Amino acid sequence: MELRHLGSTGIDVSPLGLGTVKIGRNEQVKYPQGFEIPDDQAVRQLFELARELGINFIDTAPAYGSSEERLGQLLPNRNDWVIMTKVGEIFENGESHFDFSAAHTRRSVENSLSKLKRDHVDIVLVHSDGNDMDIINNRGALEELQRLKQEGLIRAYGMSTKTVEGGSWIVEHTDVVMATYNLETDVELPVIERARELNKGVVIKKGLQSGHAASVEDAFRLVLTQPGVSSMIVGTINADHLRSNVDACNRVINNMA
């Protein structure tokens, strides 16, 4: 799997990234079926398979339960992976809470570094609650991420946005945007197009509609052939699903050549 540039960050990522919410949390998730959180051996095997298949990019977040901690414990050759985590959302007692203050942002990144057992994180995104412009204008998280980048604790930053206005601002002023784009909705396509013009990183979430996409290959084709898209995050804890996703991704990419 040939790596793609994540905009102008200097970071190269696999076009398919591995989402890890399912290794850390099975409450209040939007997948078609319930699931059990896998044990350590199964997680290690999943990571090893992902690497064998050419994936180098992992998405996590403090809101994904024990995901960050398990990555720090179980990820083989963890410094060889590109890791993207988030700030702003806290999941406790079955509910999400949000804090976009500068102080919480710094504590969150420091906690992530400790759990991931790293001296820096490649990418940190603000985990939006939907009020993108309020977060951007009033909350302090993005300014703190910029300071953390200057201090060398993170390499790139941005936001997982939920509005076109917020996404457009993010691609104008930060390094990376995480946007929704799938067979059901292309509302955020202008964000992706503007990011391409500015050579900013674009990571796609919900590309398979949280497991509800009618055709996985059609979904990959839509997303990965869109100019400007660096990677698409897909979460799975099933080895067969992972192989199938990589095969579909490779078929799409090979047909682009």
Taking a C-beta distance cutoff of 8 angstroms, is the pair 24, 15 a contact?
no
Rounded to an integer, what distance in angstroms lies between the CA atom of residue 235 and that of residue 74? 17
Average confidence (pLDDT) over 8-32: 90
Per-residue pLDDT at 84? 98
Is residue 243 predicted with pLDDT exceeding 70? yes
Pull the structure tokens for residue 148. 């953390």
What amino acid positions are annotated as catalytic residues?
64
Per-residue pLDDT at 257? 67
Per-residue pLDDT at 211? 74
Per-residue pLDDT at 7? 98
Q: How far is CA 132 from CA 72, 100, 167, 193, in A?
A: 30, 11, 8, 19
| DSSP string for 118-184 | -S-EEEEEEE--S-HHHHHHHS-HHHHHHHHHHTTSEEEEEEE-SSHHHHHHHHHHSSEEEEE--SS
What are the structural domains, with CATH classification, of the chain?
A: 4-216+223-256 (3.20.20.100)
Is residue 109 predicted with pLDDT exceeding 70? yes
125-147: pLDDT as tens digits: 999 999 999 999 999 999 999 99
Residue 18 corresponds to which amino acid? L
* Three-state DSSP class for residue 61: coil
Average confidence (pLDDT) over 114-123: 97
Per-residue pLDDT at 169? 98
145-200: pLDDT as tens digits: 999 999 999 999 999 999 999 999 999 999 999 999 999 999 999 999 999 999 99
- Specify the pTM: 0.95
Q: Give the DSSP H or E segment for 242.
A: helix 239-256
Q: Tell the burial category of 56 from Cβ atoms under 10 Å away from its Cβ (0-12, 13-18, 19+).
A: buried
Pull the structure tokens for residue 18. 């591995």
27-70: pLDDT as tens digits: 877 777 778 999 999 999 999 999 999 999 999 999 999 999 99
Per-residue pLDDT at 39? 96
Is residue 11 predicted with pLDDT exceeding 90? yes
Per-residue pLDDT at 95? 85
Mean pLDDT (the chain) is: 95
